[in-house]
Structure 1
């Protein structure tokens, strides 16, 4: 890291102070939050998607457990007060009593069972099963406040996995809902599609009442507009502004987020089936040239699909160097062997994924073209992008490089490896039986053995498979109105708990 994230304030001390109008200094306990991307769904089982999770997760819908990603508390109780292991495969969860959903119904073990069955159902295309891989989860009600959850094959970190299963009432239909009902401190008061979402604080929440009474989420694709809205007092929090707009030491904060920016290589189409071509893709990109220009100076180069804080992170893997001449030589070598190196490759990006994403994608396209690749850039909005990102892939597609971010803030690779790399993974761009076995072995392992197995997998993916073009461990900047207290953390990328917002 070129300089400490905490040095942002010192670097900006000479900046002009914000002029926040008096209207933003009042005693209102309402807040406005500016997000850079709209929400196409308000479905609880899709809250692992960051644009949905920032609104819904732990605000409307809660989970049995919650992982403390910034402190030292580890796995914490949420709707489950405690849990204990019954055998290698089964954990018993003891649920909170006297908890109500926002529709007034009582929370009990039947709701937990239905939530798990619903999230894992093949009748829905929830994101939740992606994190469980081939593991089958069975929930058995013991009594209204006790439930047994069994994983086959055994899953050593099952209680941690429960931190991504959002709980809904037992009468929630087996189809995506538009009006989520949850046990969280807020309920959805309005959703004006494309304009805003309004959450209101509940008076019957089981836990401590948050300070924020009402939160309005608005969506602005231009991060400069989001920053300006906080500056003028029109908004209170903009969790993702551009580094070029982070010009005020009083209000602007840099924070390491849990996203890895990468390009998935489509090994199902020529010329990407050839390992030399995949190596050339990696060598063609001058990653360091982006740092301090189009991405923040605090950005580090990625060597795995997970951030360095993750169990088993392999520090021996080095970022791919920039070597255009070697990339050209590899392409020429592959061409001499009959590989269709001139075939069109479609570079696919997602609009508004992060500040300057279009400029980053255009620069990558230029670098790949410079070494001889035939690259066409296409940018998509989130809903269209998700259709391309996940299986089934279109049979008539050209070879694809899909640029995406992956978020893993929960400390274990199990939340990434199956659905990114297993042959049956819904976002995997290749099939390798050895990788499948390594994932399954690491998933079932515990302790130091688990860490080593994940570490070995990272090395194999990078050195032997060349599965991706890994680019950056991302850094974000937030602007926070001086009238509120809020500290962005590595968790802010995937959730923004209103209970963590206060008033000065």
Structure 2
């Protein structure tokens, strides 16, 4: 049709509409959880990271999850200077979305802010616990970063640190400024978030011009929204809804589902009660019913491919009779096993999470424990999951998923198990020392050192490990995008293309 010479009004309208449809490069992404904040130093929390990580806030380095290579991002290269110090050469010509230049001062400020005791930044607690990080500016685009104890994987650690401008205050922000290809255009808490593409981004221009994030807790609703065209991507849907091979993808999402026990309070301070909780769970009964049959029973906090994973470790077998005996033994020794234990679940954390938690409550009740279940939204859940624990002085169990797709336990073990770990429910001096030893070990001995830590954790039973999860996503057929192991914790808009 020659639109220039068309006089019929209907055809004119059709011609005018066609270019707008062809140029439709906005996307809508429907998420299972809302965001309680948009703070860059909290981007390691999956619901926050899916929106802002590498979209608004970038990191120094970036892990290629397809081949395990460490790639440049805001740092172009790096070299080991010895004595725990690495020198990073920074990309030149980069600007933040506020127009300021990116320099080594911003990296120094980002490190000091993320690790500051004045803020509780999850990235700092999760990835940099148990070590001291000292940045020293060499020049505008060169910075030395020293770790104590020395970290042989410091460049990999820098793939977790979000960079903010030096003007960012030492408090949580609602208006994140970053070097990434997008800016926060609008945030309507509880309803939607909008990101707009920047015109002055230092890298290649992404195909997506605008992204709108919507929040729907129901798995079937999210899947249906993509099917009907109301949304383009649902990063997390239930296996039962993943019925269309043209739009639905499964992927190992590096998440471990588990229950964190507060071992400082009776009756959870008794290892027999903790082992009884593990024996009370019929993990195999969940597989293929409430949990995808392609998931694996978890034996570690990290997935089986992680350095130091011990294939000989297992979880206690399902044995409710033995669980009852252990509880009876503890009771005979004066442990208050009848005391009510508060169990906190996170709504929308994964498909069928409420049903899974209800089944676990029943299993614990069947062996004689008094467990009260409470399902909460993520903003409330964090108060129970991170110190100081909101449940104290009540004994508590907290359901959680932990993501470690970087291959080394250092990204997990300190903040999950050290006495000062932000989300640790246990304090054991011997375990603390083993974590410190493994963190500072390099070369071939590093795997053995972490294996020793995993064995000590199994001995102490501070968790009820459940499953290494598998994720399911639904992607509109108009998009060229395939989910990966990273999709649960980040969703880079620059990786989305449009089919012709």
TM range (shorter): over 0.9
Q: 1:431 aligns with which of 427, 431, 434?
A: 427
Corresponding residue for residue 156 of structure 2: 160
Q: 1:470 aligns with which of 465, 470, 495?
A: 465
Corresponding residue for residue 15 of structure 1: none
Corresponding residue for residue 43 of structure 1: 39
Corresponding residue for residue 272 of structure 1: 268
1:237 and 2:236 correspond: no
Q: 2:358 aligns with which of 355, 362, 372?
A: 362
Corresponding residue for residue 488 of structure 1: 483
List gaps (5 residues or longer) in structure 2: 1-17
Alignment map for 1:377-456 (pairs within 5 Å): 377-394=373-390, 396-456=392-452
Cα separation, 1, equivalents of 2:314 and 2:227: 40
SS in 1 for 2:180: coil
Deviation of 1:23 after TM superposition, in Å, equals 12
Cα displacement string for residues 218-253 of structure 1 (whole angstroms, at most 9, x for unaligned residues) = 111111111111000111000001111111111111
CA spacing shift, 1:97–1:352, aligned 2, 3 Å: same
Corresponding residue for residue 257 of structure 2: 261
Whether the 8 Å contact between 1:24 and 1:483 is mirrored in structure 2 is no
Cα separation, 2, equivalents of 1:71 and 1:217: 29
Corresponding residue for residue 76 of structure 1: 71
The more displaced of 316-325 and 441-450 is: 316-325
SS in 2 for 1:33: strand
Corresponding residue for residue 458 of structure 1: 454
1:376 and 2:369 correspond: no
Corresponding residue for residue 18 of structure 1: none
Report the structure number with the largest CA radius of gyration.
2
Q: 1:337 aligns with which of 330, 333, 337?
A: 333
The count of aligned residue pairs is 481
List gaps (5 residues or longer) in structure 1: 1-21
Deviation of 1:383 after TM superposition, in Å, equals 1.0
Deviation of 1:460 after TM superposition, in Å, equals 1.5
CA spacing shift, 1:196–1:271, aligned 2, 3 Å: same
Deviation of 1:27 after TM superposition, in Å, equals 3.9
Cα displacement string for residues 367-394 of structure 1 (whole angstroms, at most 9, x for unaligned residues) = 0101111111111111111011111235
Alignment map for 1:112-127 (pairs within 5 Å): 112-127=107-122
1:172 and 2:168 correspond: yes
Task: Give the TM-score normalised by structure 1.
Answer: 0.93
Cα separation, 2, equivalents of 1:25 and 1:401: 50
SS in 2 for 1:84: strand
Cα separation, 2, equivalents of 1:258 and 1:35: 18
Whether the 8 Å contact between 1:240 and 1:478 is mirrored in structure 2 is yes
Task: Give the TM-score normalised by structure 2.
Answer: 0.94
Cα displacement string for residues 83-134 of structure 1 (whole angstroms, at most 9, x for unaligned residues) = 0111121110000001111111111111111111111111111112211112
Computed over aligned residues only, the root mean square deviation of the Cα atoms, in angstroms, reads 1.5
Cα separation, 2, equivalents of 1:164 and 1:212: 24
1:149 and 2:134 correspond: no
The more displaced of 341-350 and 365-374 is: 341-350
Deviation of 1:25 after TM superposition, in Å, equals 7.5
CA spacing shift, 1:31–1:319, aligned 2, 3 Å: same
Whether the 8 Å contact between 1:70 and 1:491 is mirrored in structure 2 is no
Cα separation, 1, equivalents of 2:150 and 2:240: 48
Cα separation, 1, equivalents of 2:168 and 2:190: 25
